[in-house]
Amino acid sequence: MSNSDNGKRGVLFDVDGTLVDSNYLHAVAWWQAFRRMEHDVPMSAIHRAIGMGGDKLVEHLLGEDRNKDEDEQLDATHGAIFSTWWPSLRSFDGASELLKACSKKDLTVVLASSASGAELEYLRTVIDADSAITDATSSADAEASKPSPDILEAALEAGGLEAPNTVFVGDSVWDVKAAGELSIPTIGLTCGGTSEAELREAGAQEVYENPRALLAALDTSLLGELLAQG
């Protein structure tokens, strides 16, 4: 990583499965949405696709020959079912402290989420670190969802950041692949249910168990290296 002209350094955070313990609820919500439309998709397959945007997930799981007219309804049904669990959502241990520690070290903190606007606002209350967050993206900020890099491009722009001065923290293979498209180094977290081996195979340079573990290793992590370049 080399410093860009503006010298501003930052960190982009995925939200679902990275900062908030929501991946398995997303999997169940998608499973129920598929069942309502008479698609019997194994929940294990759904879990492995979590991290993709809804449009990509449906195509990935149902294939090109599906009835594409159902896509929008499937996505909306998933969102409606998932919203019933919003009150149950909890952030991972150390998530709020991690964001605040990054901000205190003068890293620009941006949430790179593809959640809907309303869902993102709720997720921010769950994380409880708004004082540390410079900006956040939602599904409205990108034409294409992960593993396309559009959300991350929008997050860079929102934070006034450039890829060489940025690290991305995510929990899914699709997070890592999206960051790789922009040559943004990625720290993977296994708390979303994806193994260290899978995250490293996708290109993650470092892997930690959860936000608390990354916080404990902050100064020696990729984020510490980024700070040391200043």
Q: What is the pLDDT of residues 177-195, one digit of tens each?
A: 999 999 999 999 999 999 9
Please say if the pLDDT value at position 230 is more than 70: no
| 5: confidence class by pLDDT, cuts 50, 70, 90 | low
219 Rama sector, left if φ>0, alpha if ψ -120 to 50, beta otherwise: alpha
The domains of the chain are located at 10-22+90-228, 23-87
Q: Kindly report, residue by residue over 99-151, the tens digit of the pLDDT.
A: 999 999 999 999 999 899 999 999 999 999 999 999 999 988 988 887 889 99
| 4: confidence class by pLDDT, cuts 50, 70, 90 | very low
| 2: confidence class by pLDDT, cuts 50, 70, 90 | very low
Within this chain, domains 10-22+90-228 and 23-87 share the same CATH topology: no
- Options 3.30.70, 1.10.150, 1.20.120, 1.10.3470; CATH for 23-87 is 1.10.150
Mean pLDDT of 72-100: 97
pLDDT at 37: 96
31, two tokens: 């499973």
pLDDT at 111: 98
* CATH class of segment(s) 10-22+90-228: alpha beta
pLDDT at 137: 95
Please say if the pLDDT value at position 50 is more than 60: yes
The CA distance from 202 to 174, in Å, is 8
Which single residue is written with the structure tokens 């997930």?
57
Query: In this structure, is the dihedral angle defined by the CA atoms of residues 199, 117, 128 and 163, taken in order, positive or negative?
Result: positive
What's the mean pLDDT when you consider all of the chain?
Answer: 95
pLDDT at 3: 43
Q: What is the DSSP string of 107-124?
A: PEEEEE--S-HHHHHHHH
The proportion of the chain whose per-residue pLDDT surpasses 70, expressed as a percent, equals: 97
The CA distance from 68 to 2, in Å, is 44
